[in-house]
Amino acid sequence: MAKTTSKTNSNTAKIHDQSLHIGKGGELHQFAEDGFSTLTTAQGAPVADDQNTLRVGPRGPALIEDFHFREKIFHFDHERIPERVVHARGYGAHGFFETYESLAAYTRADIFQRPGEKTPAFVRFSTVAGSKGSFDLARDVRGFAVKMYTKEGNWDLVGNNIPVFFIQDAIKFPDIVHSVKPEPDRGFPQAQSAHDNFWDFISLTPESMHMIMWVMSDRAIPRSFRFMEGFGVHTFRFVNAKDQSTFVKFHWKPKLGLQSVAWNEAVKINGADPDFHRRDLWQSIQSGSYPEWELCVQLFDQDFADNFDFDILDPTKIIPEEVLPVQAIGRLVLDRMPDNFFAETEQVAFMTQNVPPGIDFSNDPLLQGRNFSYLDTQLKRLGGPNFTHLPINAPKCPFAHFQQDGHMAMHNPVGRVNYQPNSHNDGPRETPVEGYRHFPAEEQGSKVRMRAESFADHYSQARQFYISQTPPEQRHIAMALTFELSKVEIPVIRERMVSHLLNIDETLATTVAQKLGLKGMPGPAAAAIPTRQDLQPSPALSIVERGPQRFEGRKLGILVTDGVDTKLLKGLTQAVQNEKAVVEIVAPKVGGVTASDGSWVEAHHMIDGGPSVLFDAVAILSSQQAIDDLMKEATARDFVTDAFQHCKFIGYDQSALPLLEKAGVADAFDEGVVALPGEDGLSAFVSQLGKLRVWGREPSIKLGKASS
């Protein structure tokens, strides 16, 4: 009996990649069946039975001498390493960075010397607050961490998708993070800032107001990692071969433009597909549609820094692109998924202090604190000092040093000499000219715990961000603030926040106060420096102003039924593919439908599993015979109402009209609800989809009464 079971299971093992379990250079054992390698213990002993523990008789106690069982369970028990204390949920991909032109005038960094040079790169995107198993569409900052394996060592640009931060001094980091994480007594809420502790801390921390405007904007609910910007946040230095320094701020700009989702949509995506962002990255890379960003820089000298409105060391401030334009210096392409999520995405160790010669730090107090924190965190998380031996963290250029031993040492020196200087004429030596030289910035001052006066303006750029947004984006900020504060149970916190908003924009403050049902309007918060009214709007801060105007890289969901017009379906699919976008078919049954010419159309989703929130635009192609049944499906009606409510384009053919009526949409038609033209007009329809949303619909959304 036991024998039969064993055989069945060893057959299923065939699907596993056996190479992972075979030691390097190890010979395969000869006794496995044809085509299989031999299952062994980690010590290499062949295993005869992997289905039953060793016991005394078939119904007796287990034996401690069962070394195979003990080793297997021991290893399983230790599979987890501590998740990152922040940015725990992340997803990574490999690619390369390509340099556009030589930047030798500004930096001696080897990566920027030769046009066309390609440098291998690994990127990890993440949310900040949620734990590893949380959902992708939390309202949150996204990490945008890039490791570039340059010929002079790894350069980690550990950035976010928002160019400023909540706090000005690293000593406040544990406080802000504690406040946003689940509250310690109750252990919730997970991956949410909508709770008392977070808003209590924020409302007592005026320096966070600029960042709060960004986090309450649609930037915090991106449609995809592929459609978001990245920022180095701090001011860094480029240093050239003559030891001259130029200040630099780094920006990643997505080739496909910026795009976010609506809040109501985000909430529904989290239920429909909690892995929405990682699936998106996986699918686009696997299908050969490689995401791309340009690396842009803002370069400036001490003179500019001295004359700029704010302190360039203050990480709660930006330099608007309209004041100091960005210039593109290279591109990043992601073209390969990791072979193993744990080995690469989980074990990758980013550190702000990983900089090659030619790139240096400024005195930004947050950056200085980070340079301490990241090394420390890797020791805790990866369990020892040899995490640089892991392939994902090891440099790809030659390296040589005298560090040795410790947990899990993989690169072990050979020979007698493990120190220098030595008289054996052996081992690596310093290279004073080529080696990393820190920029010799002159520093002086008393030892103090003190924030610079030049960091004291907390509202002017918050206001500038707000007034740079289009009306729908401003509306979303007000809605987000209202939602978040509505989850705050202590009224005084809500009031305190409104008093800060009064220093940012009065209309915003009164709108939020009204929507919250505040009894009276508080006075404005005391401001160390009054809000400047003269800062001009910066269109670069708006997602809508920088919208892509094309559907490339997006997804059309087509809801079909039996009898769907074959020509129309094929024509629409082709028009979308011509735009380098993707079509997914949604049908009453996942098996598919029979089209008008009798052909079989396979579906990607059944309606319940493919709600319209998963798509950038939708079309409904039905048939006279099938529409009545479709109208009875609550999920089909939701498909339409949600798409309409989320301001998406909806294409339909005549037979689908009754569904639109039933969903209450038909009496609210606008330019985004489009009766599909004949085949000739389909590419015009698809290029219209490039506008992505009909935000003008939003204020007037009044759905007709949907009945079932």
Q: Tell me: does residue 373 bind ligand HDE (CB under 6 A).
A: yes
CB of 88 to ligand HDE, least distance (A): 8
- Residue 219 is which amino acid? R
CB of 44 to ligand HDE, least distance (A): 34
The site map against ligand HDE for 325-364 (x = CB under 6 A) is -----------------------x-x--------------
Q: Which of residues 686-705 bind ligand HDE (CB under 6 A)?
A: none
The dihedral region occupied by 598, where left means phi > 0, alpha psi between -120 and 50, and beta the remainder, is left
Q: Tell me: does residue 276 bind ligand HDE (CB under 6 A).
A: no
Residues 6+ apart with CB under 8 A from 229: 161, 163, 251, 252, 253, 254, 258
CA 485/CA 200 separation, integer angstroms: 10
CA 298/CA 319 separation, integer angstroms: 8
Cβ-based nearer residue to ligand HDE, 84 or 697 = 84
Q: Is the CB of residue 305 less than 8 Å from the CB of residue 324?
A: no
Q: Is the CB of residue 289 less than 8 Å from the CB of residue 506?
A: no
By CB under 6 A, which span of 84-92, 198-206, 237-245, 420-428 interacts with ligand HDE? 84-92
Three-class DSSP category at 496:
helix
Q: Is 52 a catalytic residue?
A: no
CB of 372 to ligand HDE, least distance (A): 8
Cβ-based nearer residue to ligand HDE, 86 or 109 = 86
* Distance, C-alpha 548 to centroid of its chain: 19
Cβ-based nearer residue to ligand HDE, 206 or 553 = 206
Contact residue for ligand HDE among 290, 304, 308, 374 (CB under 6 A): 374
Catalytically annotated residue among 94, 154, 160, 503: 160
Helices 471-486 and 506-516 cross at an angle (nearest 10°) of 40
Q: Tell me: does residue 377 bind ligand HDE (CB under 6 A).
A: yes
Q: Is the CB of residue 369 less than 8 Å from the CB of residue 169?
A: yes
CB of 662 to ligand HDE, least distance (A): 46
* Distance, C-alpha 260 to centroid of its chain: 12
Q: Tell me the backbone φ, ψ of residue 396, rounded to 5 degrees.
A: -100, 5
Three-class DSSP category at 224:
coil
Q: Is 87 a catalytic residue?
A: yes
By CB under 6 A, which span of 6-14, 367-375, 385-393, 417-425 interacts with ligand HDE? 367-375
- Sign, CA dihedral 183-184-186-191, equals positive
- Considering CB under 6 A, how many residues would be counted as binding ligand HDE? 24
Q: Give the CA diameter of the chain.
A: 91
CB of 360 to ligand HDE, least distance (A): 16
Q: Is the CB of residue 675 less than 8 Å from the CB of residue 639?
A: no
- As given in the structure block, the two tokens for residue 445 are 């001052």
Contact residue for ligand HDE among 38, 68, 84, 691 (CB under 6 A): 84
CB-nearest residue to ligand HDE: 143
Cβ-based nearer residue to ligand HDE, 221 or 631 = 221
CB of 408 to ligand HDE, least distance (A): 18
Q: Which of residues 533-592 bind ligand HDE (CB under 6 A)?
A: none
Cβ-based nearer residue to ligand HDE, 344 or 505 = 344
Strand duo 605-606 + 617-621: pairing? unpaired
Q: Could you give the residue ranges of the DSSP H alpha helices within 159-312?
A: 173-180, 196-203, 209-215, 263-272, 276-286, 302-307
The site map against ligand HDE for 227-246 (x = CB under 6 A) is ------x-------------
Residues 6+ apart with CB under 8 A from 331: 97, 98, 100, 255, 292, 293, 294, 295
Q: Which of residues 120-179 bind ligand HDE (CB under 6 A)?
A: 124, 126, 143, 145, 158-160, 165, 170, 173
Closest CA to 670 of 706, 643, 708: 643
Cβ-based nearer residue to ligand HDE, 233 or 673 = 233
* Distance, C-alpha 395 to centroid of its chain: 24
Three-class DSSP category at 573:
helix
CB of 219 to ligand HDE, least distance (A): 14
Counting every residue written for the chain, the total comes to: 708
CA angle 235, 236, 238 (to 5 degrees): 140
The site map against ligand HDE for 293-332 (x = CB under 6 A) is ----------------------------------------
Contact residue for ligand HDE among 129, 366, 508, 647 (CB under 6 A): 366
CB of 76 to ligand HDE, least distance (A): 25
Cβ-based nearer residue to ligand HDE, 277 or 648 = 277
Binding site for ligand HDE (CB under 6 A): 84-87, 90, 124, 126, 143, 145, 158-160, 165, 170, 173, 233, 348, 350, 366, 369-370, 373-374, 377
Residues known to be catalytic: 87, 160
